[in-house]
Structure 1
Amino acid sequence: MRLLHDLEHVPSEILGGALTIGNFDGVHRGHARIVEAIRRQARAVQGPTIVFTFDPHPVRLLRPQQTPPPLTWTRRKAQLLAQLGVDAMIAYPTDRALLELSAEDFFQQIVVDKLQAKAMVEGPNFYFGRDRRGNTQLLGELCQQHALELEIVQPLELPGDAEIISSSRVRQAIAAGEIETARRMLTEPYRLRGMVTHGAGRGNTLGFATANLEAIDTIVPAHGVYAGYVVRKELTHAAAIHIGPNPTFGEGHPKVEAHLLDFEGSLYGEPLELAFLARLRDVRTFDDAEQLTSQIHQDVEAVKRAYSDWLTPDVREETK
């Protein structure tokens, strides 16, 4: 996978391929359907599969107060797309000059001149160019003029669900703590990232040391206790994740903290990624530390089961 941040010096090996343009935030199963189509088109034109994304999301410049919290950061997005078989992702710097291009100029400068694309794949709700004036009808006309094959891929719905899979719907599920629903829409369990900072240190006295995360730049799930795992230095560790306040000890400030199972050592100052597998329970007040400790033991056992299931190939495949 090649990750590019501009189009000044485009490697020859990513020219003349099949291209799709979009934000691809979260890389959900609907995105996977589009990637499947561009891979098919790439084979037909004997070229690479290219995903062109915007960094940051155009809404951040146009309507900053309406900017949705992201589901992925750039390198995570590239990693997920690579797993689907994409050859290159372009995280193009979004600026006013780009947003002021007409649909025709955008197509000519990006699709034709810079990437020399031979085929394109988009969803039916694709818009491009200044004020989103370009639509799939105009895209079809432009592709026909330049002898590009165009395929429009229909949205994907979850089985038994009339609503289509979308990044906004994934955000809604995560914000509501509906991790299992989000997992059914995503190609991989949802992850957030942050830096480990010093906490109250109370976890050590209870026998369950936690890593407290701050500087989180993606959406944080609703308050609750979750089963998941931590990604650290390309290794994974099962983890019980707590999001919210600690009312048992009179702490009202919400925190994101994770207890890594079967791990010893200091994590202060390290970046960590937390992946979410299931929601276990609400945050609640316990009568005393002994009652809280008893509940944490139950949570840890639930985490072990969820993590073991995730590592089981058959179970893991069913959740995708």
Structure 2
Amino acid sequence: MQITRHLNDLPPDARGGAVAIGNFDGVHRGHARLIERLIQRAKEISGPAVVFTFDPHPVRVLRPHDCPPPLTWTERKAELLAKLGVDRVVAYPTDEALLRLSAREFFDLVLRDTMAARALVEGPNFYFGHNREGDVRLLGEFAAEAGMTLDVVEPTNEAGELLSSSRIRRLIGETGDLGRAAAMLTAPYRIRGIVTHGAGRGAKMGIPTANLEGIDTILPAEGVYAGVGRLVGRDGPTAIWPAAVNIGANPTFDDLHAKVEAHLIGCDERVYGRPLEVDFLERLRDVRAFASADELVEQIKLDIAAAQAIVTNTTY
């Protein structure tokens, strides 16, 4: 998926199609339902299915202290949207000039003049323009004037509660319920970072770990998880391994500094300094102190076996 960053770079084949505007953080099943309608409309008008999103989230510009960590970075978001069938993602650099545009100005500049949209698809809680002055009612009026159609897709509910990015963020960051979160997402939850040197205890115990830093999305709650590690090269992942991942401190050694440590099962490559992505499949247990290093090693071996079994039995 090629990401367009600036409207001046929008190619002709990305104009005249169906457009959905939003943050699409996490690309969950509610988003997938909206994207399904977007693709349907695009086919009906023989045009591209285009998503216009923001990088970063407008709240990070307006109220940075109130903006929670995202579920996805822009390239990951575009990858997930492409798997759903989106033809083009516009990840507009959010700045003060964009946020000062009135609803009318935003519609005219972005949707009518630049993207030449012929169909719009949004959720009922969509707002646009300075101070969120425009809603779907006003968007419908503008669209009708410009000869565009507007479809409003109702939200998706899960167990009687609205399926939303904020709800998934709570499941991941507060409870570590990755299994439940995965059922709401369109793909396993993924983080990324750079492998750095740690204390080296894992290697001394015969169970080396990749210590991950520079993570720019929300971290799962403290615990031990089964997952998949993906070393990333210039053109994508170069190798993939099952992984047992520890998030939190190491109380057995009185190390209270929270870390992200992934044991890549079967990996004998040198990983220091390399980008690593980790997909989380299931929470295995709490982090706790053990009576001895030997007892910890025995538990880690059980964690590794459990993680291997979960990855083997997961369609991935």
TM range (shorter): over 0.9
Q: CA deviation at 1:140?
A: 0.7
Task: Map 1:142-291; keep pairs closer than 5 Å.
Answer: 142-158=142-158, 161-176=159-174, 177-233=176-232, 234=237, 235-291=239-295
> For 1:310, what is the secondary structure of its paired residue?
coil
Q: Distance in 2 between matches of 1:280 and 1:191?
A: 17
Q: CA deviation at 1:210?
A: 0.1
Larger mean Cα displacement after TM superposition, 52-61 or 227-236: 227-236
Task: Map 1:292-303; keep pairs closer than 5 Å.
Answer: 292-303=296-307
Q: CA deviation at 1:2?
A: 2.8
TM-score, normalised with respect to structure 1: 0.95
Matched, 1:56 2:56: yes
> For 1:8, what is the secondary structure of its paired residue?
helix
> For 2:144, what is the secondary structure of its paired residue?
helix
Task: Map 1:101-140; keep pairs closer than 5 Å.
Answer: 101-140=101-140
Larger mean Cα displacement after TM superposition, 54-63 or 228-237: 228-237
Number of aligned residue pairs: 310
Q: CA deviation at 1:265?
A: 2.0
- Whichever residue aligns with residue 310 of structure 1, its letter is T
> For 2:261, what is the secondary structure of its paired residue?
strand
Q: Distance in 1 between matches of 2:110 and 2:269?
A: 49
Q: Distance in 1 between matches of 2:303 and 2:24?
A: 34
Q: CA deviation at 1:305?
A: 1.4
> For 2:7, what is the secondary structure of its paired residue?
coil
- Root-mean-square deviation over aligned CA pairs: 0.9
Unaligned runs of 5+ in 1: none
Q: CA deviation at 1:10?
A: 1.5
- Whichever residue aligns with residue 99 of structure 2, its letter is L
Q: CA deviation at 1:266?
A: 1.3
> For 1:264, what is the secondary structure of its paired residue?
coil
Please list the CA deviations of residues 18-77 of structure 1 after superposition, one character each: whole Å capped at 9, or x if unmatched: 000000111111111111000000001100000000011000111111011011111111
Q: CA deviation at 1:236?
A: 1.8
> For 2:43, what is the secondary structure of its paired residue?
helix
- Whichever residue aligns with residue 181 of structure 1, its letter is R
Q: Distance in 2 between matches of 1:309 and 1:116?
A: 46
> For 1:127, what is the secondary structure of its paired residue?
coil
Please list the CA deviations of residues 230-252 of structure 1 after superposition, one character each: whole Å capped at 9, or x if unmatched: 11132321000000000001101
- Whichever residue aligns with residue 275 of structure 2, its letter is P
> For 1:65, what is the secondary structure of its paired residue?
helix
- Whichever residue aligns with residue 150 of structure 1, its letter is L
Please list the CA deviations of residues 152-187 of structure 1 after superposition, one character each: whole Å capped at 9, or x if unmatched: 0011112xx111111111110101211111101110
Q: Distance in 1 between matches of 2:104 and 2:144?
A: 13
Q: Distance in 1 between matches of 2:311 and 2:59?
A: 36
Q: Distance in 2 between matches of 1:125 and 1:42?
A: 22
Q: Distance in 2 between matches of 1:263 and 1:103?
A: 53
- Whichever residue aligns with residue 225 of structure 2, its letter is Y
- Whichever residue aligns with residue 253 of structure 1, its letter is H
Q: Distance in 1 between matches of 2:9 and 2:202?
A: 51
- Whichever residue aligns with residue 74 of structure 1, its letter is T
- Alignment match, 1:98: 98
Q: Distance in 2 between matches of 1:245 and 1:41?
A: 50
Q: Provide runs of 4+ in structure 1 moved above 6 Å.
A: none
Q: Distance in 2 between matches of 1:137 and 1:24?
A: 21
Q: CA deviation at 1:209?
A: 0.4
Q: Distance in 2 between matches of 1:61 and 1:269?
A: 31
- Whichever residue aligns with residue 209 of structure 1, its letter is P
- Whichever residue aligns with residue 255 of structure 2, its letter is E
> For 2:157, what is the secondary structure of its paired residue?
coil
Q: Percent identity?
A: 53
